[in-house]
Chains A and B, each alone.
Chain A
Amino acid sequence: MRITVLLFARLRDIAGTAKLERNLPNGSTTRSLWNTLVQDFPDFDSYSEAISTAINEEYARMDSELSDGDEVAFLPPVSGG
């Protein structure tokens, strides 16, 4: 299935792009998607314990199951205000 990934802040800087696409097997979760990104961008690994996520513009969990066409955002620790 086809998944769109959105990256923000330092994650975007590390990857060199704000948006990328991934093909994943059915039954994949946000965590397994994240793990494929860590393989491509080893510096992502320092965020593995602190990362949060959203699916289709709604907060989600790292164990959420993905569906074809989902847009998944990975959110490094936030610093608004």
Chain B
Amino acid sequence: MSVLAFVVTTDPLDLSTIMVHVENQLKEAPASAGAVASFIGTVRNENQGHQVDHLEYEAYEPLAVKAFQRIADESAQLWPDTYLAIHHRIGHLNVGEVSVAIAAASPHRANAFSSCRYAIERVKQIAPVWKHEYFEGGDVWIEGATASPDDEEARQTAIRLACV
């Protein structure tokens, strides 16, 4: 079964399949595989003093998939030999469940780590995804960054964090 690199889904995420996917992409490239870095984000049990019960994630799916592709293109400009896969889950997620999974393959570990970190920072900055937090006694939409992909200052922040 073929795995897509950029996905929004209500199904549970599987990190190992996307790690294999980016590793295979790298094998098809002139460079052979050297390193695969990965990241998963999980639902925290506490946020801003609230005891979180569960989250409801929502996305503008077609634009979110394009945002993930855009992030991978940006990453490939910065680290030409890296390959990214980004999967985001939506719908009802309980505490501890995986909301986002990212894998980055590169011939060199430094670039794999940088690409992976850059990807999660950019997802948080521009992907049209929202979390609705349900806690004891109420619920609230979490609102973070204004989604502005051409905001160069935000992009430079992501690059800086990726290269720490």
A6 contact set on B, CB distance < 8 A: 60
Residues of B with C-beta under 8 A to A73: 60, 63, 128
Proximity string of chain B (119-154) to chain A, C-beta cutoff 8 Å, 1 when within and 0 when not: 010011111111110000000011111111110000
Which size class do B's interface residues fall under?
A: 20 to 34
Number of interface residues of A (CB under 8 A): 20
State the CA gap A4–B114 with chains docked (Å).
Answer: 40
B131 is contacted by which of A52, A75, A79 (Cβ under 8 Å)? A79
Distance (Å) between the CB of B14 and the closest chain A CB?
Answer: 18
From 3 to 60 in chain B, residues with beta carbon under 8 angstroms from any chain A beta carbon are 41, 57-60
Which residue numbers of B lie inside 8 Å of A, CB to CB? Answer: 41, 57-60, 62-64, 66-67, 88, 99-100, 120, 123-132, 141-150
Other contacts beyond A57-B63, A73-B60, A81-B123: 11, CB < 8 A: A9-B58, A52-B146, A54-B60, A54-B63, A59-B150, A76-B141, A77-B147, A78-B126, A78-B130, A78-B145, A81-B129
Q: What mask results when residues 1 to 17 of chain A are scored 1 for a CB within 8 Å of chain B, else 0? A: 00000101110010000
